[in-house]
Amino acid sequence: MEQGKFSMPLLGDDFPELEVKTTHGPMKIPADLKGSWFVLFSHPADYTPVCTTEFVAFQKRFEEFEKINCKLIGMSVDQVFSHIKWGEWISEKLNVDIKFPIIAANDAIAQKLGMLHPNKGTNTVRAVFVGDPEGKIRLIFYYPQELGRNMDEILRAVKGLQITDKEGVALPAGWPDNELIQDRVIVPPATDEKTAKERKTQYDNFDWWFCHRPLKK
């Protein structure tokens, strides 16, 4: 692939419209996911060790994602029959039933999502796209083929984005286990002198520009 042909969607963009074949039948993305958060993740290839551990890990957290109104969708450039057979193998050998759909992508789809990286061969990289109920891309992770993903971090990220949307706050590093403020949330900094002076009496703080409060229940 020529370097100049590589492109990828950006944060805040509408998720590219895709009509795809999946193990659950044809889907239109993001149209069929409207009203739900979603995590669409690509893997290099079926029947590979790291990808197998990832699919098991995602499935182990399937119900946790469902509880927060978030759909899981897998993807690689393997054909649907390969996805189906691999899912059967995982069920038979590892006693884990994959309940989320797996997209059979082609090079055009993978390239549209920036999953075929120059100088990384013809397999898709380990991309993760988090989309919101309006189909906007809210978070993107890219991992190399040799490094498996941390699904707890992906779950944490979706929960965090939902909280920031709902409460209009920011979240600290490692939330909800931050070294400074634990599971508290950060109040957006003041943008005028009057508000800045008031902040120290309104919130717990380290200074007017670093105020925090408990998460609303």
State whether residue 96 is helix, strand or coil. coil
Cα dist from 209 to 166, 175, 197, whole Å: 21, 19, 10
Cβ–Cβ under 8 Å, residues 133 and 8:
no
Active site residue 51: yes
Residue 8 has φ and ψ, to the nearest 5°, of -155, 150
The one catalytic residue among 18, 33, 51, 125: 51
> Which own/partner pairs from 44-47 qualify as long-range (CB within 8 Å, at least 24 positions apart)?
44/76, 44/123, 44/124, 44/125, 44/126, 44/145, 45/76, 45/77, 45/78, 45/123, 46/76, 46/78, 46/82, 46/83, 46/85, 46/86, 47/82, 47/86, 47/89
Alpha helix (H) residue ranges in 61-192: 62-67, 80-94, 107-112, 151-167
Q: Which residues are catalytic?
A: 51
